[in-house]
Structure 1
Amino acid sequence: MEIYLVRHTETICEKGVCYGQSDVDIVKPFDEVFSRIISELPSEAVIFSSPLKRCVILAQHIQKNISTISYQEDERLKEMNFGDWELKTWNEIPPEELNPWMEDFVNIKVTNGESFDELHERVGYFFNEISTIKEPIIIVAHAGIIRSILCHQTSLPLKDAFNNKVDFGEVIRIKL
């Protein structure tokens, strides 16, 4: 089975803003980058998308431009929930909260949010559920979700998840 992991394109948020599950928009115009993304995808696929706007816009554009077997938005594909840190700059987060998390983001839960381990668990449930699909799969999601899937796929320890660089609009193909 082929899976195409597609990260949403650049958001309107300034660099340094923590926007996890906040429903922010993407930078326009996006036609050129969307065309490049579609050129890297199969001509027919099952599409799953995060329900956040920055993914839905891209996923629906893909759906209109390839033969879609099915399209579904899935809550488990949302980016990490940064709780009280949502839409704050990293510099605004008190060091006594940020520093322990930076030391152990895998296990330390953001206040009113989640840890990377919790994200990884919900992604694991999603990944196991889709493992029986035979057709190519396109997953339009976020860097955290894609890093989690790559950790599942390669058995990379979660603490090393950021070794998987995932750029805006990047398409990563994996085989199961």
Structure 2
Amino acid sequence: MIPLSLPHRLILVRHGETDWNREGRLQGGQDIPLNALGREQAAEAAGRLKALEPGFATLDYICSPMERARETMDILRRDLGLPAGEYRVDPRLKELTFGAWEGFTWRDIRKAEREQAHLRERDKWSFVPPGGESYRMLAERVRPVLEELQRETVIVSHGGVARAVLALVGAVSPLKASMVEIWQGKLLVVEGSKAEWL
């Protein structure tokens, strides 16, 4: 994969926690709302953004269309004192789809689909769950979004999307990207091929 060179700083925010996150269930394409901790994490991300970038009002804001991401963006903008709803929604920023595995925990899958789970552990980047998509496929979906960025941007999206971005800019290898922990309530700041948590 040829690394993508971003001319502007990108600030990634993963949506706040949902009950399915807490229970360890695969959400993927399921529209699960934030829980109370998730709403606190969205507010925490707003505070971090305000501290990082005094000119936050001039940034571009783009969001996944999924409920948990939009609720995170709405809280973030509310706490920054920015107009509600004045951000772009891009369906290409939806979470990695786990297909038939959505709603189950990894423990469930390892019991019911032992061989498939083992194959995924061997190559998380390229493995396609039944009816789902791989990180490689997700990266192909996300790459055009990054290529279209015109200025410094805040993207509120998902863990899978953040992993794809890390691989696309060359911050880590695709294999490592698929295993990176993506935190809620923090900012992942990407400049060139470097990424830093704040």
Give the TM-score taking structure 1 as reference length. 0.88
Give the counterpart of 1:61 among 44, 67, 75.
Answer: 75
Query: Which one has a larger percent strand, Structure 1 or Structure 2?
Result: 1
Amino acid at match of 1:79: E
Question: Which residue number corresponds to residue 27 of structure 2?
Answer: 19
Contact persistence 2:125–2:175 (CA under 8 A)? yes
Question: Which residue number corresponds to residue 8 of structure 1?
Answer: 15
1:49-77 Cα shifts (integer Å, max 9, x gaps): 11111110011222333446x51111111
Change (3 A) 1:46 1:36: same
1:116-153 Cα shifts (integer Å, max 9, x gaps): 100111111211122xx12x211001111111111222
Question: Which residue number corresponds to residue 87 of structure 2?
Answer: 71
Contact persistence 2:142–2:165 (CA under 8 A)? yes
Match of 2:19, SS state, is: coil
Question: Which residue number corresponds to residue 104 of structure 1?
Answer: 123
Amino acid at match of 2:107: N
Distance in 2 of aligned mates of 1:57 and 1:15: 20
1:141-171 Cα shifts (integer Å, max 9, x gaps): 1111111111222352211114533112221
Give the counterpart of 2:144 among 117, 125, 135.
Answer: 125
Structure 2: unaligned runs, 5 residues or longer: 1-7, 193-198
Amino acid at match of 2:60: V
Question: Which residue number corresponds to residue 173 of structure 2?
Answer: 157
Distance in 2 of aligned mates of 1:60 and 1:8: 11
Distance in 1 of aligned mates of 2:136 and 2:44: 33
Give the TM-score taking structure 2 as reference length. 0.79
Shift of 1:79: 1.1
Match of 1:166, SS state, is: coil
Shift of 1:29: 5.5
Match of 1:164, SS state, is: coil
Shift of 1:9: 1.0
Question: Which residue number corresponds to residue 46 of structure 1?
Answer: 60
Identity of aligned residues (%): 26
